[in-house]
Amino acid sequence: MSVILITGSNGLVGSESVNFFCDKGYNVIGIDNDLRGFFFGKSASTKWLKKVLLERNKKFKNYDVDIRNFQNLEKIFKKYKKDIKLIIHCAAQPSHDYGKDYPIIDFNVNATGTLNLLELTKKYCFESPFIFMSTNKVYGDNPNTLPLKKGKTRFEMSNKSKYYKGINEKFPIDDCTHSFFGVSKTYADLIVQEYGKNIGLKTVCFRAGCITGPKHSGSELHGFLSYLVKKCLKEKSYNIIGYGGKQVRDNIHSSDLVKCFWEFFKDPKFGEIYNIGGGRKSNCSVIEAISLVEKLSGIIIKKKYISKNRVGDHIWYISDNSKFMKDYPKWKQKYDTKKIIEELINYN
């Protein structure tokens, strides 16, 4: 029996992974106890998606287990052992704001939970590739030191800049403000690398920009594009926090991201890191995203501007996907921002 083990299986990336690997014929084990609902409230709960996944996929089984609980996790690893052919670790506390208010919970979920999974992989299924969903927040607010110009709808940099194509894996992570969430994810990122470089596990960290898609249970504290579309459609208003709404994000669709996982699974490496995101193909500022929603939906959105920005918020972040695309040339990006927002509107 070939088993794919996915943490955070009822979330955006986890659920996309469940469907993808079930469709490939694998047995999929999900680990998800709906901590998202605990973090952000009932509207952000993923229980609805678990029900959908179980109805859709005959080869999917969900375990209501907390990744902070080593003993309960070990029961699962001990049961399946070397039948586990791949671990996809998506479970996380994903919010800057929540991490600042609850730093111990944040660290235990993001850091200790990741360490638990690595130790169990080492013990029970050493040859299995380990995919970790990291974040661009490992770079802290260092991207804000880039030479940016304020345009009519966005911050942008010269096309002659070395970072015009996006931020690559050589970008510094020190001497900056990370947010507590960024720090806990940085520990997880580094320890995943260490288990690859030092111990020999087949590990990878995908340092993602904004990930999105119609299955995202977006909330005010996490899930930028999903929340923005949902808020604009339902309330015809949106609070724009900091930088006049001209801060730029790249957005990668969850299905494009999971196809990256598939390519790595077929040809894994040891302790590798990749920046992955929408890149130059798929990016927008907050006010550009709102304008697209207005254009595509015909709804006029009332905007409220809040001058104080979030701590550690990026003014401009676009991922340079070049390294991954060089190593895995078969990967193709399907979605741009317009196509993503059209899908979110139709889903809502």
Residue ranges with strand state E in the chain: 3-7, 27-31, 60-63, 84-89, 130-135, 149-150, 155-156, 203-208, 210-212, 237-241, 248-253, 272-276, 283-285, 302-306, 316-317
Report the alpha-carbon distance of residue 198 to residue 298 in Å, rounded.
Answer: 55
pLDDT of residue 226: 86
Give the SS3 label for residue 136.
helix
Which stretches in the chain have pLDDT values below 50? none
Core vs surface per residue 145-161: b (16+ CB within 10 A) or e: ebebeeeebbbbbeeee
Contact 138, 186 (CB under 8 A): yes
Place of tokens 């709404």: 245
**149: β partners:** 156
For residue 194, give the H/E element and its range: helix 180-194
pLDDT tens per residue, range 46-91: 888 999 999 999 999 999 999 999 999 999 999 999 999 999 999 9
Contact 262, 20 (CB under 8 A): yes
pLDDT of residue 223: 61
**4: β partners:** 28, 86
Compute how many other C-beta atoms are within 10 angstroms of the C-beta atom of residue 164: 14
Task: Name 257's Cβ contacts closer than 8 Å, sequence gap at least 6.
Answer: 13, 16, 206, 208, 211, 276
pLDDT of residue 251: 94
pLDDT of residue 38: 78
Handedness of CA 88, 222, 274, 330 (dihedral sign): positive
> What is the CATH class of 3-347?
alpha beta
Give the SS3 label for residue 210.
strand
> Which of 310, 153, 282, 292 minimizes the C-alpha distance to 232?
292
CA dihedral 207, 78, 67, 186 (to 10 degrees): -30
Core vs surface per residue 59-98: b (16+ CB within 10 A) or e: bbebbebbbbeeebbeebbeebeeebbbbbbbbbbbbbbb
pLDDT of residue 347: 83
| Cα of 8 vs its chain's centroid, Å | 11
